[in-house]
């Protein structure tokens, strides 16, 4: 309990006091989270990504995609289209050895205003016997970037992966 309080205190002290004046706080760790869940009833693979906004905007800008002010009132009209384009280039899935195209369901800013939650879905997946995940999101920006991925595919087997610039792809086999 004491260690959690100490960590929380250190995180609070690292946030600039001028946050309310438009200065975005920085963070010293570079990670994204991805949750992949197979919904049997809907026959869909559903993904939720959490990305730090500053890292995402910087990574996209590096590729010539100007998407500043994502999840704010100043967001550009085509921001979601540009975000989806970036995701398609750096986050791919293969289901049962077949490349699949996911739909962009939506996005929302995280409670702390530092990140964005992105929702994606692959429809018409009647079963998952094999899954290959390639997650190169933001890997070109920070040498220490880690993309943490949790995969939940029935019968309730949960797998955790840590993908980075040295290993950005992982294959899982669920065949009986």
pLDDT digits (tens, 9 = 90+) for 27-84: 677 999 999 999 999 999 999 999 998 999 999 899 988 887 888 888 888 899 999 9
pTM, entire model: 0.81
CB burial of residue 83 (10 Å; 0-12, 13-18, 19+): buried
Give a yes or no: residue 80 inside a domain. yes
Give a yes or no: residue 123 inside a domain. yes
Give a yes or no: residue 33 inside a domain. yes
CA distances from 134 to 36, 84, 98, 147, 166 (A): 12, 15, 13, 10, 12
Kindly tell me if the per-residue pLDDT of 136 is higher than 90: yes
Kindly tell me if the per-residue pLDDT of 15 is higher than 50: no
Structure tokens belonging to residue 103: 């739909």
Pairwise pLDDT comparison (74 vs 165), residue with the higher score = 165
Give a yes or no: residue 156 inside a domain. yes
Q: Quick one: pLDDT band at residue 19, thresholds 50, 70, 90? A: very low
Give a yes or no: residue 16 inside a domain. no
The region of weakest confidence among 38-47, 106-115, 137-146 is 106-115
Over residues 75-99, mean pLDDT:
94
Judged by phi (left if over 0) then psi (alpha if -120 to 50, else beta), residue 175 lies in: beta
Give a yes or no: residue 9 inside a domain. no
Buried b (16+ CB within 10 A) or exposed e, 109-133: eeeeebbbbbebbbeebeebeebbb
d(CA 130, CA 112) in angstroms, rounded, equals 35
Kindly tell me if the per-residue pLDDT of 106 is higher than 80: yes
* CB-based contacts of 82-87 (< 8 A; 24+ apart in sequence): 83/56, 83/107, 83/118, 86/56, 86/59, 86/60, 87/49, 87/118, 87/120, 87/137
Kindly tell me if the per-residue pLDDT of 90 is higher than 70: yes
From edge to edge, which strands make up the β-sheet containing 115-122?
Answer: 103-109, 115-122, 44-52, 31-39, 146-153, 157-163
Give a yes or no: residue 99 inside a domain. yes
User: What per-residue confidence (pLDDT) applies to 6?
Assistant: 34
User: What per-residue confidence (pLDDT) applies to 70?
Assistant: 82
Give the range of the structural domain holding residue 106, as residue numbers without chain letter.
27-173
Give a yes or no: residue 131 inside a domain. yes
User: What per-residue confidence (pLDDT) applies to 154?
Assistant: 75
Domain count, the chain: 1
User: What per-residue confidence (pLDDT) applies to 176?
Assistant: 65
């Amino acid at each position: 309990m004491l260690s959690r309080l100490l960590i929380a205190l250190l995180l609070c002290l690292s946030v600039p006091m001028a946050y309310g004046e438009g200065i975005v706080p920085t963070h010293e760790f570079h990670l994204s989270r991805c949750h992949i869940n197979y919904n049997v009833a809907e026959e869909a693979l559903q993904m939720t990504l959490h990305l730090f906004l500053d890292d995402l905007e910087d990574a996209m800008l590096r590729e010539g995609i100007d998407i500043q002010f994502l999840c704010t009132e100043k967001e550009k009209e085509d921001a979601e289209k540009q975000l989806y384009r970036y995701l398609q280039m750096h986050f791919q899935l293969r289901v049962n050895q077949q490349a699949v195209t996911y739909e962009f369901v939506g996005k929302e800013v995280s409670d702390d205003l530092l990140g964005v939650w992105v929702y994606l879905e692959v429809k018409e997946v009647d079963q998952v016997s094999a899954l290959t995940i390639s997650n190169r999101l933001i890997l070109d920006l920070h040498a220490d970037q880690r993309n943490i991925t949790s995969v939940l595919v029935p019968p309730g087997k949960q797998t955790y992966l840590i993908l980075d610039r040295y290993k950005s792809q992982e294959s899982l086999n669920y065949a009986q």
